[in-house]
Amino acid sequence: MTKRYTVSVLGCGWFGYPLAKQLVDLGHQVKGSTTTAGKLADLQSAGIEPCLFSLDQDEDAGDFFNSEILVLGVPPKLRSGSGDDYEGKIRRLAERLKRSPVKQVLFISSTSVFSDGGRVLYEHDLPSPETASGKAILAAELCLQDCARFTTTIIRFAGLIGPGRDPGRFFAGKTDIPNGQAPVNLIHLDDCLGITLTILQRRAFGHVFHAVAPQHPQKQSFYSKAALASAYTAPKFHDELLSWKIIESVNVPNLLDYYFRCNILE
């Protein structure tokens, strides 16, 4: 990236923290938020300007939103079962952003905005979420896209794998798992980072991107091999195809010319 940005990363967790560190390494001014006071020193030591901030509260965020670009990577709290008023939090955040210098918002969304309708789905397809979290995430997408004060870019991540998210553990030792023939939709952390950084590099703002690995093996094959590769007990699936979806992308190859770094079959 030749242009240097001021970037605020809201949510320096599994994805946000390594993204912020890579942005620092590329020479950008980076601000990072956390909800845990004990992580502030870690952000500081990585060259990230730390901020203690939560979407749950309307506290003063200091200089955090004084940036050109905001990466929003805070998902709904799934355990609440109702999206945890996620839409309301995003609406309050959007109002805050309207009063800030932020011109570009990169919203880390999810392929859960699509139901398992037995289709191949691209960015131009209309979302139809079934779960509470999927509905909350779609509402957040629409809320941010409705704000003319800034441009919103949507990045829909598939199931996340990588450091700390070993797919071998997901179903290890379990039995009687339905829908074993269903295709998987996954993405490795390295490609989450690669796609996001390429969007910034190319200034490919205002689009929707499906961040999903191009390989879609059957669930029973993929997770059984992953479990054995990590020395776990292989799960047992029902050899059947019930509900399914395959998420693909037009915009990642065509607008970003991006080539995936990780083959999930390897």
Residues 79-114 have pLDDT tens digits of 544 447 899 999 999 999 999 999 999 999 999 999
pLDDT (tens digit per residue) in 196-227: 999 999 999 999 999 999 999 999 999 999 99
Q: Is the pLDDT of residue 164 over 80?
A: yes
Look up the pTM and report it: 0.95
How is the chain split into domains, by residue range? 6-161+185-216+245-256
| Main-chain phi, psi angles of 228, to 5 degrees | -65, -35
Does domain 6-161+185-216+245-256 sit in CATH 3.40.50.720?
yes
Which pLDDT does position 189 carry in this prediction? 98
Would the pLDDT of 1 be above 70? no
With a cut of 70, say whether residue 73 has pLDDT above it: yes
Q: Rounded to whole angstroms, how far apart are CA atoms 139 and 86? A: 9
